[in-house]
Amino acid sequence: MQIVYHGSYCKVEKPVIKEGKYAKDFGVGFYCTILEEQAIKWAKKYETPVINEYEYNEDSSLKIKEFTVMTEEWLDFIIKCRSGEKHDYDIVIGAMADDQVYNYITDLMAGTITRAAFWELAKFRHPTHQIALCTEKALNCIKYVGAKEL
């Protein structure tokens, strides 16, 4: 069992997976992190920031993709997801493309910078973490613990 956090504008006792208008790093999913500080940053984007806490118990029967470090495979996966391509994983875990790294990815996708330039810029970014629960089965891995308004 591990504690994970989700930053939002409200209490989220029953997480759902809903498609947004913007493609995310690991595709459609309910996003959490093991880093409370990161969830706080997510929540502070809202007028009423709330940190939701969950117990996460990984289910080994699910199809899980984990990127332990930022690699070419991680970068290609994010580019595909951000381009709207679907994947068949229940859970995807790894570093997130924060606002700055996202800008580098956008530049790479547009051909404004090379892959070599991307990696040179990205190596100076602080560690980040995200868990994308991409299917209804994956949502069963988390149990709501509580929430606090910031």
106-127 residue pLDDT tens: 888 899 999 998 888 877 666 6
Q: What's the mean pLDDT when you consider all of the chain?
A: 90
* Spatial separation of the C-alpha atoms in residues 40 and 18, rounded to whole Å: 21
Return the pLDDT at 124. 67
Q: Kindly state the helix (H) or strand (E) to which residue 139 belongs, with its residue range.
A: helix 136-139
In percent, the amount of the chain with pLDDT more than 90 equals 62
Asked if 35 and 94 touch (Cβ cutoff 8 Å), the reply is: no
What interhelical angle do 99-110 and 115-122 show, nearest 10?
170
Summarize the confidence of residues 53-64 as an average pLDDT: 96
CA–CA dist 6, 21 (Å, integer): 19
Q: Please tell me the predicted confidence (pLDDT) of residue 123.
A: 74
Confidence of residue 22 (pLDDT cuts 50, 70, 90): low
Q: pTM of the predicted model, to two decimals?
A: 0.87
Cβ atoms of 147 and 48 within 8 Å: the answer is: no
Please tell me the predicted confidence (pLDDT) of residue 53. Answer: 97
- 78-100: pLDDT as tens digits: 989 988 899 999 999 998 876 67
50 touches 10 (CB < 8 A): yes
